[in-house]
């Protein structure tokens, strides 16, 4: 489903110098697997997710989704790839003038769902993240953690084959973190491949997935304790 082959990413700094954000990474995530990318701030987790969505290109190596090299895709190919991905990014944004429900239906409609189907799937996703009662709230009427959950619901509503989530439990209280963690685990059980990035070891443990430990852009051998 997802494969990295010898992937490195080097950023040039405006002030001069360069940062090796990722160094020669190779790993595979199999269909329906839940993989957890754990590492401290600056380890390269967000960079890695951006290589998978095609927002960035690797300096060396290849990222393959379903056997297709992401950096070889043109604009159309990238759009098609992203339609199959559920993305919860760190800097994910909601449309300010649409309700929680509206933010989901607009995406589903754009993907071809009819009006009723879009509404049903959007509502079901909001209920799954515990936001059914807040469906008619505008983003500014929601707390930061609630907005994160709307973003997660938006990623889920599209029923992606591969879900990429960057810090899915950030800004959530312990009870809600547990709800989201359980939700992600059940998604994987129902067949969605998941790659979840987190700096929180307790989140990684709770997800009970396969742990990929990233430190300073390098992958630690598997089997090391979190
Ligand atoms: P994480 O998500 O694990 O916190 P990041 O992928 O955001 O890590 O960052 C990894 C490293 O790459 C850090 O040293 C960061 O400063 C650097 N970095 C990330 N994005 C950029 C960028 N656009 N330009 C320059 N350096 C970057």
Instruction: For a ligand 1 pocket test, name from 11, 52, 165 the mutation site with the most ligand atoms within 8 angstroms of its C-beta.
Output: 11
Q: Residue 146 and residue 140: Cα distance in Å, rounded?
A: 10
* Confidence (pLDDT) at 166: 93
Q: What is the 87 CA–ligand 1 centroid distance (Å)?
A: 18
Residue 40 has pLDDT above 60, yes or no: yes
Q: What is the pLDDT of residues 156-170, one digit of tens each?
A: 999 899 999 999 988
Indicate whether residue 14 lines ligand 1 (CB < 6 A): no
Q: What is the 106 CA–ligand 1 centroid distance (Å)?
A: 31
Residue 225 has pLDDT above 80, yes or no: no
Indicate whether residue 41 lines ligand 1 (CB < 6 A): yes
Q: Residue 184 and residue 27: Cα distance in Å, rounded?
A: 21
Q: What is the pLDDT of residues 126-140, one digit of tens each?
A: 999 999 999 999 999
Instruction: For a ligand 1 pocket test, name from 21, 25, 46, 212 the mutation site with the most ligand atoms within 8 angstroms of its C-beta.
Output: 21
Mean pLDDT of all residues belonging to the chain: 92
Average pLDDT rounded to a whole number, residues 115-126: 96
Percent of the chain with pLDDT over 90: 74
Q: Residue 47 and residue 3: Cα distance in Å, rounded?
A: 15
Q: What is the 96 CA–ligand 1 centroid distance (Å)?
A: 28
Which residues are registered as beta bridge partners of 65? 2, 68
* Confidence (pLDDT) at 214: 96
* Confidence (pLDDT) at 224: 61
Q: Which of 80, 78, 124, 81 is nearest to 101 (CA)?
A: 124
Q: What is the 137 CA–ligand 1 centroid distance (Å)?
A: 34
Indicate whether residue 22 lines ligand 1 (CB < 6 A): no
Q: What is the pLDDT of residues 50-109, one digit of tens each?
A: 999 999 999 999 999 999 999 999 999 999 999 889 999 888 899 999 999 999 999 999
* Confidence (pLDDT) at 171: 83
18: left (phi over 0), alpha (psi -120 to 50) or beta: beta
Indicate whether residue 55 lines ligand 1 (CB < 6 A): no
Q: Which single residue is written with the structure tokens 């799937």? A: 121
Q: Residue 27 and residue 49: Cα distance in Å, rounded?
A: 13
Average pLDDT rounded to a whole number, residues 128-153: 94
Indicate whether residue 167 lines ligand 1 (CB < 6 A): no
Residues 6+ apart with CB under 8 A from 61: 4, 5, 6, 7, 8, 24, 25, 26
Percent of the chain with pLDDT over 70: 98
The confidence band for 223, taking pLDDT boundaries of 50, 70 and 90, is low
Q: Residue 86 and residue 78: Cα distance in Å, rounded?
A: 14
Residue 151 has pLDDT above 80, yes or no: yes
Atom from ligand 1 closest to the CA of residue 56 = 23
């Amino acid at each position: 489903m997802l494969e990295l082959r010898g992937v490195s990413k080097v950023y040039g700094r405006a002030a001069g110098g360069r940062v090796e954000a990722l160094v020669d990474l190779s790993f595979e995530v199999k269909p329906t697997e839940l993989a957890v990318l754990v590492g401290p701030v600056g380890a390269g987790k967000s960079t890695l997710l951006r290589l998978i969505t095609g927002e960035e290109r690797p300096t060396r190596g290849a990222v393959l989704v379903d056997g297709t090299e992401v950096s070889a895709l043109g604009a159309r190919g990238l759009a098609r790839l992203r339609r199959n991905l559920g993305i919860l990014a760190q800097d994910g944004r909601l449309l300010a003038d649409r309700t929680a429900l509206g933010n989901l239906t607009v995406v589903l409609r754009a993907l071809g769902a009819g009006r009723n189907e879009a509404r049903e799937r959007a509502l079901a996703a909001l209920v799954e993240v515990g936001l059914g009662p807040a469906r008619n709230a505008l983003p500014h009427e929601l707390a930061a953690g609630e907005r994160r959950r709307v973003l997660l619901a938006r990623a889920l509503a599209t029923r992606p084959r591969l879900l990429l989530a960057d810090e899915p439990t950030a800004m959530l209280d312990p009870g809600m973190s547990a709800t989201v963690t359980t939700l992600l685990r059940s998604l994987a059980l129902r067949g969605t491949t998941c790659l979840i990035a987190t700096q929180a070891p307790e989140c990684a443990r709770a997800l009970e997935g396969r742990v990929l430990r990233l430190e300073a852009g390098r992958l630690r051998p598997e089997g090391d304790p979190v």
